[in-house]
């Protein structure tokens, strides 16, 4: 008997990155539309049309706008459906909170937050804003990647998610250097924060390399 079942495509980290970028764009577009039309009496309909959410519209509405976004919406929703059926159970730890790299990144985040609250709460500067925004991302992305799991079907998503954490860690270190140069923090504070932050960044980079190797072995 012929087997007509199709295995889901296994996405690599680059396909997952593209999927996440498109998701980011759609989130930004939705927030922009919400801000623009929040006081409009037909707010929901306008947003649904602009977002391409035709299942939320009447047949008349769909006839007005149906077409230009169809291919993209179909691809996006197919990606979401595929993602939901893979499962994200991690295999090496019972919980991300037990994962040593997450613990280190989380503890560093708490240290950075305490610094912002207790020592430089009254200072306004772009480098401080960049540090604060980037500080919380690495542990969040490690935890989020852990949710994807380590199976081949979703490992690429784990890698892509952690790469976002790595990018944030690099921004965080750059911001620290700017804070030192502007004398927002002293040399001792900089040295401590930078050394520990670099450890988190470097270990996260190694972790990504290890997951890439796991992914590569899955195809050999």
Residue pLDDT, tens place only, 4-20: 456 668 898 998 888 88
Beta carbons of 173 and 197 less than 8 angstroms apart: yes
215, pLDDT greater than 80? yes
Beta carbons of 179 and 217 less than 8 angstroms apart: no
203, pLDDT greater than 60? yes
State how far the Cα of 183 lies from the Cα of 177, in Å rounded to an integer. Answer: 10
Beta carbons of 76 and 26 less than 8 angstroms apart: yes
pLDDT per residue as tens digits for the range 64-108: 443 333 333 343 333 333 333 323 333 456 678 888 899 999 999
1, pLDDT greater than 80? no
**pLDDT grade for 48, boundaries at 50, 70 and 90:** low
Mean pLDDT of 50-67: 49
What is the CA 213 to chain-centroid distance, rounded? 21
SS3 category, 174? helix
- The structure's pTM equals 0.68
**What's residue 121's pLDDT?**
67
Domains and CATH numbers, the chain: 13-86 (no CATH), 96-217 (1.20.1440.60)
163, pLDDT greater than 90? yes
Cα torsion 161, 165, 168, 172 to 10°: value is 180
**What's residue 80's pLDDT?**
39
Lowest mean pLDDT among 9-13, 47-51, 118-122, 189-193: 47-51
Average pLDDT, the chain: 77
Beta-carbon contacts of residue 23 (< 8 Å; ≥ 6 apart): 76
């Amino acid at each position: 008997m012929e087997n007509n079942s199709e295995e889901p495509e296994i996405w690599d980290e680059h396909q997952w990155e593209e999927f996440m970028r498109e998701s980011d764009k759609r989130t930004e577009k939705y927030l922009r539309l919400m801000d623009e039309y929040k006081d409009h009496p037909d707010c929901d309909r306008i947003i649904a049309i602009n977002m391409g959410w035709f299942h939320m519209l009447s047949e008349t509405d769909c006839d007005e706008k149906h077409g230009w976004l169809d291919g993209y919406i179909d691809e996006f929703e197919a990606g979401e459906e595929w993602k939901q059926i893979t499962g994200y159970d991690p295999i090496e730890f019972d919980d991300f909170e037990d994962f040593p790299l997450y613990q280190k990144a989380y503890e560093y985040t708490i240290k950075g937050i305490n610094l912002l609250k207790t020592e430089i709460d009254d200072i306004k500067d772009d480098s401080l804003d960049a540090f604060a925004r980037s500080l919380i991302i690495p542990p969040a992305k490690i935890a989020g990647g852990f949710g994807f799991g380590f199976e081949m079907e979703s490992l690429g998503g784990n890698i892509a998610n952690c790469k976002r954490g790595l990018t944030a860690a690099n921004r965080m270190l750059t911001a620290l250097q700017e804070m030192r140069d502007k004398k927002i923090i002293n040399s001792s504070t900089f040295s401590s924060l930078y050394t520990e932050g670099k450890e988190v960044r470097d270990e996260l980079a190694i972790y990504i390399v290890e997951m890439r190797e796991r992914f590569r072995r899955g195809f050999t």
